[in-house]
Amino acid sequence: MNKIYKIINIKKHPINDLKNFAPKCKKEIQKKSILVLRNFINSTTLKNLQKESKILQQKAFYCSQKHTVLLNKKSNKMNEFDPCNIEVVSDKGCVPHDLIPKNSFLCQLYNSEEFKLFLKKILDIDNIYPYADTLSSINYNYYEQNQQLGWHFDNASFAITLMIQSSDSGGNFQYINKGRNVDKKFIDKDLIMSALSNKYQGKEILVDPGTLILFYGRNYLHRVTPVESKKSRILVTLNYNTEKEIKLSENARMTFFGRLV
C-alpha cells in the first residue's frame, strides 16, 4: 500500500479519487476561496507529528516584526495613513525545512505524488514544485502566548496549512475572501482599512488539530489573532511553487529563519 494512505484519513478524504472527490474540492475552493478538510490526517499521524513538533520546538527561530498588509516595511514615500502603508505586528517561531527529519510524515505527505496530483487538480495548475532553497518548503510555526500574525496578503498565490495543536483561546484564523486581485491590479483599500480598524473581522474558521486548509492567500486578507492561552498554537505550512527553481527571498529567509542556508 502506498505510504500516503497510512498517513491521511483516506476514507474521509479520498484524494486519489480524481473523478469525484477532487472535482468536489475544486468546486468548493472556487466558490468559497478556501477549502477546509477536517481530520485530514489520521490520529496516529497527528500524535506522531505533535510529538515531533514538541521535540523540534527548542530549535525554533522566533521573530517579531512590523509589516504592512503587503508584507512591506512602512514607506515614507507613501501617505502614512494609506491602508497599504499601515504596519501590523507578526511574531512567531519557525522551524525550517532542513531541521525536519527526512522520514517525517510531513515529508512523506509533501513529496507524495498522489497529494501533488490532487493539489494540481483542485488548484487548476500544471506544475507544483518544492522551494529551491533548503529552508522554505515545510515549516513548523509556533505561536506562543500573545503571539500573532497581523493582517496580510501572502506573496505566494496559494497556501496550505496543517494544524498540529490549537491554542485553548485566541490564535484564531480570520479570513476575508476579498480585498485584492493581483492579476487585475486591484486592491480594496476601504476594506483593508475596515479590517485594520477592527470594524470588519471576516470569517473566523474553527481549526481543530489534523485539519488541512488550502486558501488563496495572495488575494484574500487573513490573520491569526493573538494566542491567549499558555498552550501554544502549532501549525505546519506546506509551501509549493508553480515554477521550478524558486527560492524564498533572502530578506524573507533572514526574517523568518534567521539564516539563508
Ligand X SMILES: O=C(O)CCC(=O)C(=O)O
Instruction: Give the footprint of ligand X on this chain (CB under 6 A).
Output: 141, 149, 154, 159, 161, 173, 217, 222, 224, 235, 237
Q: Does 93 bind Fe ion (CB under 5 A)?
A: no
Distance CA 33, CA 23 (A): 14
Q: Does 217 bind Fe ion (CB under 5 A)?
A: yes
- In which element (H, E) is residue 178 found? strand 173-181
Distance CA 97, CA 107 (A): 9
Report, in Å, the least distance between residue 176 CB and ligand X: 12
By a kind-dependent CB cut-off of 5 to 8 A, residue 161 interacts, out of Fe ion, ligand X, none, with ligand X
Q: Are 140 and 51 in contact (CB under 8 A)?
A: no
Q: Are 158 and 250 in contact (CB under 8 A)?
A: no
C-alpha cell at 146: 500573545
Report, in Å, the least distance between residue 224 CB and Fe ion: 8
C-alpha cell at 195: 479590517
Minimal CB distance residue for ligand X: 173
Report, in Å, the least distance between residue 141 CB and ligand X: 6
Distance CA 258, CA 261 (A): 9
Residue closer to Fe ion (CB basis): 118 or 173: 173
Site string for Fe ion, 150-179 (x = CB under 5 A): ----x-------------------------
Applying CB under 5 A, the residues found at the interface with Fe ion are 154, 217
